[in-house]
A and B are shown apart, each in its own frame.
Chain A
Amino acid sequence: MNRLTLIRLGVIVAFFGLLEILCRTGVISPFTMIPPSEMAIELWALIVSGEVARGMRQTLGNVAVACILAITVGFAVGAGVHALPRLRRALDPFLTTYYAVPFFVFYPLLVFIFGMNNFPMIMIGFLFAVVAMIINTLNGLDKIPRVYRKVARMHHMGRAKTALLIELPYAIPNLFTGVKLAVAYSFIGVIAAEFILAPGGLGYAISFAYDNFDNETMYALMLFILVLVTIINMSLHAYEQRLLRRQGR
């Protein structure tokens, strides 16, 4: 473990330590926030009772579906658009301003149309994640140096073989950046949807606890989501770094 990681751990510990002190001394009122140690204790109780597992299954299930859809559709659309430069130029302004639209406003509409089930949530997670994958696919495919296509032709390789055997392996580390973002955004989309309107899941559980003034449960679950998502994102990030390093970039 290197020096930087140690300092980082120190910063995080100091931050939570400060929160703990502020809560315990009453500077932060217990109606606003409970001390981190109590959050952890309550979380453990929830895990043991199986309540967390239930919500997690619902949330993670939706996230997984949204994410896989976003990655496959995003890659396919990205690869397709990349092959058609004129279409790409026309779509460019829409892709760049896509995330300006706060389309969580569509979520209530989706619930309205499809009912209060998993489908609207998966859709929102998908809509939020897919464009990040498309944009990163386009960027990744852009980065492929032109000389590789020449080499492919010197080896008498057709379009499909070139794409599969040369372009794809080259682009995979860059595409992985898109995967990383798709995962993060799927989480954000699904959890946000669960907050707004949902039949279940972790986000719903937090919102329910909030409405019932149940600070312990609420903070415990918040802590859980934060830790869970951070671990997932960090693992993906670490893997991405390894991929990039192996290829020397």
Chain B
Amino acid sequence: MAGTQTAYSRKDHERAERLRYFGDVALVIVGIVVVWQILHMLAGDVAISSPLATAIRAGELLGSASFWPHAAETAKALVYALIIALLIGIGVGTWLGAHKLSGAVAEPILVALYSLPKITLYPLILLVFGLGIEAKIAFGAIHGVIPVTIFTMNAVKNINRVFLRSARVMKLTAMQTATRILLPATMPEIVSGLRVGFSLTLLGVVIGELFSSHRGMGFLVMRAIGLHDVSTMMAVTLILAVAAVAISSILLYIDNRLHRRV
């Protein structure tokens, strides 16, 4: 076998590297908490609560009965918005990817829509859907649908033609081609689109809750501000941030696994 075997095996090196990596990440987290604490000491309790106070308040909230209906409201809006964004995004994206002309026409339009401050459309959404959860769902969905569409379109467009030719040579049916070849081939890009779509959808839902809502995590934040309840405001924000990062990390993990496989 070419190459030299040294005293360390490859496995040992990988393990050492991974430990060092997690150590570094932990260090960054500690750094963030330290900066937070310093800002708290500079600005005082009236502006920023300390990391400890925030964590305690977050714990209280998670344990209190009045918190969870709000969390559920946000989660519900998020899930519905995501499902809509996915269905429309994957559907439209597949069509645009397969139908060359439509894809070419649509692409700059999609890119332009992506960079639009969609919050500009918020009043329109409110007028159409009213002040309830439907408005939040719609707002979240319009944020998420664009990246899912763009990524799906690119995934379908870029399917290696060799795959399709191989499928014909192997005499696969349309169904088999779709499930055995097209789906696995496009999955990594679609998951990437989903990851971006998730973040943006959550953003849309939460912004929607920040004003004109009487339920949800965003509403809790606004109410806490109105009551000058800094620790609650920061605690809810912290819970939101941690949940968002956790879900996004899971999606990222799946995204990476899929891409490495391909």
Contact = CB atoms under 8 A, between A and B. Distances in A.
Interface residue SS majority, chain A: helix
Contact of B28 (A12, A90, A203, A218): A90
Contacts of A109: 48, 225, 230, 233-234, 237
A8 B119 contact: no
Nearest to A110: B47
A191 B109 contact: no
Contact of B115 (A12, A87, A100, A229): A229
A96 interface: yes
A206 interface: yes
Contact of B225 (A112, A181, A206): A112
A233 B241 contact: no
B64 interface: no
- Interface band, chain A: 35 or more
A7 interface: yes
Contact of B123 (A11, A222, A229): A222
B105 interface: yes
Contacts of B21: 89-90
B72 interface: no
A102 B203 contact: yes
Given A187-B117, A196-B211, A31 B127 contact: yes
B104 A4 contact: yes
A90 B105 CA distance: 41
B239 to A, nearest CB: 10
Nearest to A106: B237
A206 B120 contact: yes
Contacts of B222: 108
B159 interface: no
Contacts of A230: 112, 116
Interface string B104-116: 1100110110011
A104 B210 contact: yes
Interface in B214-262: 218, 221-222, 225, 230, 233-234, 236-237, 240-241, 244-245, 247-249, 252
Contacts of B124: 32-33, 222
B95 interface: no
B244 A102 contact: yes
Given A86-B24, A113-B47, A203-B119, A99 B233 contact: no
B199 interface: yes
A229 B117 contact: yes
A188 interface: yes
A153 B24 CA distance: 32
A234 interface: yes
Interface of A: 4, 7-8, 11-12, 31-33, 86-87, 89-91, 93-94, 96-97, 99-106, 108-109, 112-113, 181, 184, 187-188, 191-192, 195-196, 203, 206-207, 209-210, 218, 222, 225-226, 229-230, 233-234, 237
Question: 3 closest A-B pairs (Cβ-Cβ)?
Answer: A90-B24, A100-B248, A184-B115
Interface of B: 21, 24-25, 27-28, 43, 47-48, 101, 104-105, 108-109, 111-112, 115-124, 126-128, 196, 198-200, 202-203, 206-207, 210-211, 218, 221-222, 225, 230, 233-234, 236-237, 240-241, 244-245, 247-249, 252
